[in-house]
Amino acid sequence: MSRGPDSPHDRRVLADRVLERTGVDVARCYQCGKCSAGCPLAADMDFPPSQIMHLLQLADFPEFAELALRSHTIWLCLTCELCFCRCPMELDIPKLMDALRYESRAQKKVNPKARDIIAFHRAFLDSVRYTGRLFEMGQVVDYKLRSGHFLQDMLQAPWMFFAGKLHLLPERVRDRRLLKRMFAKTLKAKESRP
Amino acid sequence: MKTGFYPGCSMKGSAREYSESLLAVARLLGRELPEVPDWNCCGATAAHNLDRDLALALPARILAAAEKAGMDEVLVPCAACYSRLSVTRHELLEDDALRARISGLIEADYRGTARVINILEWLAGVDGLEGLIKTPFARKVACYYGCLLVRPAGIVKFDRPEEPQSMDRLMKRIGAEPLDWAFKTECCGAGFSVSRTDLVARLSGLILEDAVSRGAEAVIVACPMCHLNLDLRRPNIEKSSHKKIAIPVIYVTQAIGLALGIAPKKLGLQRHKVAVKFAAAPSSGTLKDADPSAGISKSGEV
Ligand code: SF4
Ligand code: SF4
């Protein structure tokens, strides 16, 4: 049975695990709402950032922490760093969002609405794993296959190709073996964990 | 002082005109910018959204390679890459155990000797720019910094996080008139360009509309991702805001290049989706040797 840092068998409450991993202490948030007021995507989120903080503060009710892990918010957060910049308590909310994303994936609680966003991230990293660099043409094709949105961006591709922006062949890093080892010990290791 | 250059993936592909214009300007200024040897992708949003160790290891490998090549600082013109490299350096220098673990992953000893600098820092350090100007870039411009050049303030320690001035100062040096406007550091939608184009269209639309309403003739950017969203995504923006928005989006290095008298084609102005209809001086009309409306925008309607 796995007891790694993202393990569902870690019995501590989510707020404590987050504090240990990111140094962000949600208890210090006094719900002023400045983060949500400035967040460019607050209106699109199921819980704006200050509410995510609140959900984690209610440690006696694990079902609230669960809502944060299953939220669309954590995947919509753009890491624009505006909330962190304005928070009077200097709470690093984007870093907390990263930690919630890792836990949400590890516990298989990813919000279904985040499917496209994650498909895009996966396609991106696949390109990096094989070539060491982002191969934009390859990535767009890979994302289309993963997300099922075939036509959406293919319409842009011919123009980009003619403007000399898209290459047909990837640029590659020389030491690709090292890159593969790095992926094997990080992302891949976690994804293959039971 | 040896300055290395980290182009990052987009400057080799969709933002190649940023790289072309930077290198053209550097050549004219007599500055050498050797690439970081065998650099890899910084992992961008994807890595830090999915795996912390990978998100630190990818930039650490780049920085370690720069150190090994004896570079004292690394110029990272892409604001998104700049953020990933700066955050990584900050986190690894603060935590020795983490630095040791990440050094293990990249199979090299990362020490943190090479500083990470952005394009505005690098350009601010260029003396004598004024003396080299051929045609002042006499245009009203909206300087768009985006999020990551200035935030998080405690990590990047660069300019002001909400009302930055460095790009405005630079534009004044080449004869432009930077405007006061409200969206200097608002987010354009960043890495959602492909996966959530709807959100990018809305956020980027607000930025462009404010710039236009203030009378700007161009939006100046210092990031391939911002450029992609504000320029290449223009059809999506126009559809979402139900209006035609013609304002061009120009890299800071292209504006400087024009003022220095470098040919528009060498600066890659013909590669933009939204036609750049002027060279440098207001009277000069359309670009002669690189009319972007020839071929490019037509095939854009495919
Ligand atoms: S700005 Fe900071 S203190 Fe205020 S609600 Fe947001 S996280 Fe809490
Ligand atoms: S970092 Fe995320 S939560 Fe914070 S303001 Fe930006 S999008 Fe909103």
Query: Is A115 near ligand 1, meaning CB less than 6 Å away?
Result: no
pLDDT tens-digit map of A56-67 = 999 888 999 999
Interface test with B, best of A78, A91, A145, A173 (most B CBs within 10 A): A78
Rg (CA), chain A: 19
pLDDT tens-digit series, residues A125-182: 888 888 777 766 556 656 666 666 655 565 555 556 566 665 555 677 888 899 999 9
Q: What is the pLDDT of residue B295?
A: 34
The nearest alpha carbon in chain A to B47 belongs to A125
Give the H/E segment covering residue B151: none
ipTM: 0.85
Question: How high is the pLDDT of residue A161?
Answer: 56
CA B248 to chain centre: 15
Structure confidence at residue A50 (pLDDT): 98
**Prediction pTM value:** 0.87
Mean pLDDT of B194-215: 94
Size of interface A-B (CB pairs under 8 A): 162
The mean-pLDDT minimum among A9-13, B57-61, B130-134 falls in A9-13
Is the model's pLDDT at A42 over the cut of 60? yes
Name the residue in chain B with its Cα closest to that of A139: B194
pLDDT tens per residue across span A66-98: 999 999 999 999 999 999 999 999 999 999 999
CA distances B219 to A59, B16, B44, B212, Å, are: 47, 18, 24, 9
| pLDDT tens per residue across span B85-118 | 999 999 999 999 999 999 999 999 999 999 999 9
Q: How far is the CA of B24 from the centre of ligand 1 (A)?
A: 45
Res A139: pLDDT = 60
Q: Cα–Cα–Cα angle for B277, B213, B184, nearest 5°?
A: 90
First to last CA, chain B: 48
Q: What is the pLDDT of residue B11?
A: 77
Q: Assign A171 to helix, strand or coil.
A: coil
Tell me the average pLDDT of chain B.
Answer: 89
For residue B86, give both structure tokens. Answer: 């700066």
Task: Give the whole-number percent of chain A exceeding pLDDT 90.
Answer: 52
